């Protein structure tokens, strides 16, 4: 088992640059989220944007993954493929993006409503985003991975949602996936100690229904077993004293969504 890679202040700044490229890419994708747009188009705009800014799409060819974005619709949890499918009013679409810039990795994801979605689905999006915030609040020196995990789980389950257990967050920076694993469920006060220099991707994957998932025969796509919607939000976060330093941001996305209206 490999060890946690601790990053210097300078390295964290480089990971911030990579994470900001990911965030800006998601901001570009956000401009296209509307009924009638093929999910292929989201992938293509992201790939071009990353390359035009000197980066490399981190997911493309990662363990053979064939696209630059993971695009997961409705009941799909994560790792879905872009396709000729056209977004439709009432869909939700999760877009996960990674980029390498100056050899460092950033990773972030956001689930978008397409037009108006039903009330329960909208609540799923809001609660999952709040789960991410609650996890980030625990990503400070002195806490443990289990404190982050527990905060996410508690908020999701209190609202009647299912926490996906089979897939987890992770250390990030020199590689896309490093130690430690960052589950979305767990016990307070357990797991690896959080220390200065750790950079982790916190990424709640929350189901509107039950927690169980199925793995598709395409080798990648994961969807909820009961067919109900699933949401996914992710930030790349540096552990700090007092308050975590969130290296990615949703501000570009939010700006684009405002202008879509």
136/229 Cα distance (integer angstroms): 24
Of 27 and 120, nearer to Mg ion (C-beta) is: 27
Task: Look at residues 94, 96, 74 and name the one whose alpha carbon lies nearest to residue 172.
Answer: 96
Q: Which residues bind Mg ion (CB under 5 A)?
A: 96, 107, 109, 201, 234
Q: Supply the minimum distance, in Å, between the C-beta of residue 59 and Mg ion.
A: 8
Q: Supply the minimum distance, in Å, between the C-beta of residue 8 and Mg ion.
A: 22
Of 72 and 120, nearer to Mg ion (C-beta) is: 72
Angle at 117 between CA 113 and CA 121, to 5 degrees: 85
Q: Give Dmax over CA atoms of the chain in angstroms.
A: 48
Of 74 and 108, nearer to Mg ion (C-beta) is: 108
Of 201 and 244, nearer to Mg ion (C-beta) is: 201
Q: Supply the minimum distance, in Å, between the C-beta of residue 203 and Mg ion.
A: 5
Residue reference for tokens 């292929």:
40
Q: Supply the minimum distance, in Å, between the C-beta of residue 51 and Mg ion.
A: 19
Q: Supply the minimum distance, in Å, between the C-beta of residue 119 and Mg ion.
A: 27
69/43 Cα distance (integer angstroms): 6
152/28 Cα distance (integer angstroms): 28
Query: Do 157 and 205 meet the contact criterion of CB atoms below 8 Å apart?
Result: no
Of 138 and 170, nearer to Mg ion (C-beta) is: 170
């Amino acid at each position: 088992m490999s060890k946690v890679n601790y990053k210097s202040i300078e390295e964290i700044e480089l990971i911030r640059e990579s994470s900001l490229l990911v965030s800006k890419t998601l901001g570009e994708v956000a401009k296209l989220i509307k009924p009638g747009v093929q999910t292929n188009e989201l992938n293509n705009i992201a790939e071009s944007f990353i390359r035009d800014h000197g980066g490399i799409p981190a997911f493309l060819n990662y363990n053979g993954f064939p696209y630059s974005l993971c695009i997961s619709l409705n009941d799909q949890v994560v790792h879905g493929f872009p396709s000729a499918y056209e977004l439709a009013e009432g869909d939700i679409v999760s877009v996960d993006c990674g980029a390498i810039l100056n050899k460092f990795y950033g990773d972030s994801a956001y689930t978008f409503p397409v037009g108006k979605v039903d009330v329960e689905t909208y609540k799923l999006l809001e609660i999952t985003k709040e789960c991410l915030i609650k996890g980030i609040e625990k990503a400070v020196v002195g806490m443990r991975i289990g404190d982050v995990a527990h905060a996410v789980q508690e908020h999701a389950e209190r609202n009647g949602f299912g926490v996906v257990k089979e897939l987890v967050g992770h250390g990030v920076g020199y590689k896309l996936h490093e130690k430690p694993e960052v589950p979305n469920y767990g016990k307070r006060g357990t797991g690896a100690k959080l220390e200065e220099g750790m950079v982790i991707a916190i990424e709640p994957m929350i189901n509107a229904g039950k927690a169980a998932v199925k793995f598709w025969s395409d080798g990648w796509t994961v969807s909820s077993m009961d067919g109900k919607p699933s949401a996914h939000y992710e930030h790349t976060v540096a552990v700090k004293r007092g308050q975590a330093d969130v290296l990615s941001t949703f501000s570009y996305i939010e700006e684009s969504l405002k202008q879509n209206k």
